[in-house]
Structure 1
Amino acid sequence: MSRNILHNVFAPKYYSLFPYLAKCGDNLVDAAGHLKMLMQTKDPDKLVLIADNIKSAEKTGENLKDVTYSILNNLIVLPFDREDVNDLLNKTDDLLDSMEEIGRIVNVNRHTEIFASYVDMSGLIGEAAAEISGCLKSLKDIEGNKHQMYKSCNTLTKLYKDAEDVYYDGVLDIFSRSDNAAVLSVRKMIFEAFMECIKRIKSITESFRTILIKVM
Structure 2
Amino acid sequence: MSLNSIFQYFVPKDKKFFPLFEQAGSNLIDMAKLLQESLYSTDPAKRTQNAKQIEDLEHKGDNITHQIHLELGKNFITPFDREDIHALASSLDDVADFIHGAANRIELYKVANPSQAMKEMTDLILEATEHVAKAIFELKDLKNIRNITDSCVRINSVENKADYIFDKAVAELFEYEKDAINLIKFKEVLSAMEDATDKCEDVANVLESILVKNA
In the other structure, the counterpart of 2:118 is 118
The alpha-carbon deviation at position 178 of structure 1 amounts to 3.3
Answer whether contact 1:43 1:112 (CA < 8 A) is retained: no
CA distance in 1 between partners of 2:213 and 2:99 (Å): 30
**Structure 2 spans left out of the alignment, 5+ residues:** 1-9
Structure 1 residue matching 2:78: 3-state secondary structure = coil
In the other structure, the counterpart of 1:106 is 106
Structure 1 residue matching 2:40: 3-state secondary structure = coil
Structure 2 residue matching 1:209: 3-state secondary structure = helix
In the other structure, the counterpart of 2:88 is 88
- Is it true that 1:149 corresponds to 2:154 in the alignment? no
The alpha-carbon deviation at position 11 of structure 1 amounts to 9.6
Alignment of 1:1-150 (within 5 A): 14-141=14-141, 143-150=142-149
Structure 2 residue matching 1:157: 3-state secondary structure = helix
Taking a change above 3 Å as real, the CA distance of residues 172 and 11 of structure 1, as seen in their structure-2 partners, is closer
CA distance in 2 between partners of 1:176 and 1:34 (Å): 31
Aligned length: 206
Q: Percent identity?
A: 25
Q: Deviations over 1:112-160 (max 9, x none)?
A: 112111111111110110111111222221x212111011111111111
The alpha-carbon deviation at position 96 of structure 1 amounts to 0.7
Taking a change above 3 Å as real, the CA distance of residues 73 and 186 of structure 1, as seen in their structure-2 partners, is same
CA distance in 2 between partners of 1:123 and 1:102 (Å): 13
Taking a change above 3 Å as real, the CA distance of residues 12 and 148 of structure 1, as seen in their structure-2 partners, is closer
In the other structure, the counterpart of 2:164 is 165
CA distance in 1 between partners of 2:57 and 2:100 (Å): 8
Taking a change above 3 Å as real, the CA distance of residues 126 and 11 of structure 1, as seen in their structure-2 partners, is closer
Answer whether contact 1:15 1:140 (CA < 8 A) is retained: no
CA distance in 2 between partners of 1:146 and 1:78 (Å): 19
Taking a change above 3 Å as real, the CA distance of residues 174 and 84 of structure 1, as seen in their structure-2 partners, is same
**Structure 1 spans left out of the alignment, 5+ residues:** 1-9
The alpha-carbon deviation at position 174 of structure 1 amounts to 3.7
Structure 2 residue matching 1:15: 3-state secondary structure = coil
Q: Deviations over 1:12-37 (max 9, x none)?
A: 76322221111111101000111111
CA distance in 1 between partners of 2:168 and 2:109 (Å): 24
- State the 4+ residue runs in structure 1 displaced beyond 3 angstroms: 10-13, 172-178
TM-score by length of 2: 0.89
The two structures, once aligned, show a CA RMSD in angstroms of 1.8
